[in-house]
Amino acid sequence: MIPPAFDYFRPNTVPEAVALLQQHGSNAKILSGGQSLIPMMKLRLARPGCLIDINRIPGLSYIREDGGFLKIGGLTRESDLEASAVVKSKYPLLLDTVGVIADPQVRNLATVGGNLAHGDPANDHPATMLALGAQVVATGAKGERVIAIEEFFVSLFTTALKQDEILTEIRIPAPPAKSGGAYFKIERKVGDFATAAVAVQLTLGASGAVQKVGIGLTNAGPKPVKAKKAEEFLKGKKLEVSVVDQAAQLASEEAQPSSDLRGPAEYKKGLVKELTKRAIAKAAERAK
Ligand SMILES: Cc1cc2nc3c(=O)[nH]c(=O)nc-3n(C[C@H](O)[C@H](O)[C@H](O)COP(=O)(O)OP(=O)(O)OC[C@H]3O[C@@H](n4cnc5c(N)ncnc54)[C@H](O)[C@@H]3O)c2cc1C
């Protein structure tokens, strides 16, 4: 359980960290909470020759409302999200999600940025951020660029971050009035990764019909899945039982899980269907 040898750097600023990434190229990895990277190194699934520890860079950990967004610094811990008053009062989907990630010890170290940058479809925040229509700010040698979350997840463990870029901020559009969200996850035991999970964020119009909706699926394919057909189907419709059933069916058809120790693919698709129904119902209840 001892990882292979590596060089260790602890920059004090983002430009210093970016310069180190450029200097060491594909041999280097950013170290945030270390809750995914270090286990992978111990299991020899990752062998970076150089770790760039960004934990001592000031100003990368915050949660604030600004310019129509909830802005979350790249180094913000899961436990900070869990304790945040604004998250508790306005972002129930985020609060649901963070509460089912691993256990309190892991959440004290793991970062929201690392959860996304790892590019693991089994992680919980990717689906949540897809449902919320978030944006990711990447900082590199040429400055900042903003990546829509839909473009961020490229394939298994691969994101749109360039080799010399650091995820420095996550931006979530402030939800309009009559919005609500919910996250439903089935896990084999408390603290486990999802067998399947569904994130729903929706806004209802004056008539009660769905004005805006985002649906993200966890562990339902080689990369986090945005259930676009289910979203399209729901838009403009009132949430009658038959409508919710049909949307849940579409979401389960969009899921492409694989059979593994957590169960056969068909079972996981069934879970996606049921969890989508529950998440839509809870999100709608909260929106009212
Ligand atoms: C026992 C256990 C149970 C867990 N259960 C769950 C669970 O149920 N749900 C869940 O979602 N997660 C779970 N996790 C994973 C945990 O949430 C991870 O810590 C998280 O996914 C990664 O965040 P981190 O800050 O630890 O990243 P690290 O482990 O430090 O890094 C992970 C990867 O992302 C890169 N990276 C990190 N930060 C940045 C950045 N700012 N910019 C660019 N690249 C970056 C690193 O180079 C590395 O490749 C679990 C972990 C453990 C140990």
Q: Ligand 1 in contact with 279 (CB < 6 A)? A: no
Alpha carbon distance 276, 273 (integer Å): 5
pLDDT band for position 108 (cuts 50, 70, 90) = very high
Q: Ligand 1 in contact with 57 (CB < 6 A)? A: no
What pLDDT score does 64 carry?
A: 98
Q: Looking at the predicted structure, is the pLDDT value of residue 140 above 90?
A: yes
| Residue from 53, 118, 120 whose mutation best tests the ligand 1 pocket (most atoms within 8 A of CB) | 118
Nearest atom (ligand 1) to Cα of 37: 29
User: Cβ contacts of residue 98 below 8 Å, gap of 6+?
Assistant: 78, 81, 82, 87, 107
Nearest atom (ligand 1) to Cα of 120: 21
Measured in Å, residue 46 CA sits from the centre of ligand 1 at 13
- Which residue blocks in 110-201 are alpha helix, DSSP H? 112-117, 125-132, 149-152
Both tokens of residue 205?
A: 């119009």
Q: Looking at the predicted structure, is the pLDDT value of residue 1 above 90?
A: no
Both tokens of residue 142?
A: 């040429």
Residues 182-231: pLDDT tens digits? 999 999 999 999 999 999 999 999 999 999 999 999 999 999 999 999 99
Q: What is the pTM (predicted TM-score) of this model?
A: 0.97
Q: In 209-268, which ranges are E strands?
A: 210-218, 225-226
Q: Ligand 1 in contact with 28 (CB < 6 A)? A: no
Nearest atom (ligand 1) to Cα of 102: 5
Residues 14-46: pLDDT tens digits? 999 999 999 999 999 999 999 999 999 999 999
Residues 58-80: pLDDT tens digits? 999 999 999 999 999 999 999 99
What pLDDT score does 223 carry?
A: 97
Q: Please, what is the average pLDDT of the chain?
A: 97
Residues 147-173: pLDDT tens digits? 999 999 999 999 999 999 999 999 999
Q: Ligand 1 in contact with 224 (CB < 6 A)? A: no
Q: Ligand 1 in contact with 195 (CB < 6 A)? A: no
Check if the beta carbon of residue 216 is closer than 8 Å to that of residue 224.
yes
If you take atom 14 of ligand 1, which residue's CA is the nearest one?
A: 102
pLDDT band for position 180 (cuts 50, 70, 90) = very high
Q: Ligand 1 in contact with 167 (CB < 6 A)? A: yes
Rounded mean pLDDT, 251-275: 97
269 three-state secondary structure? helix
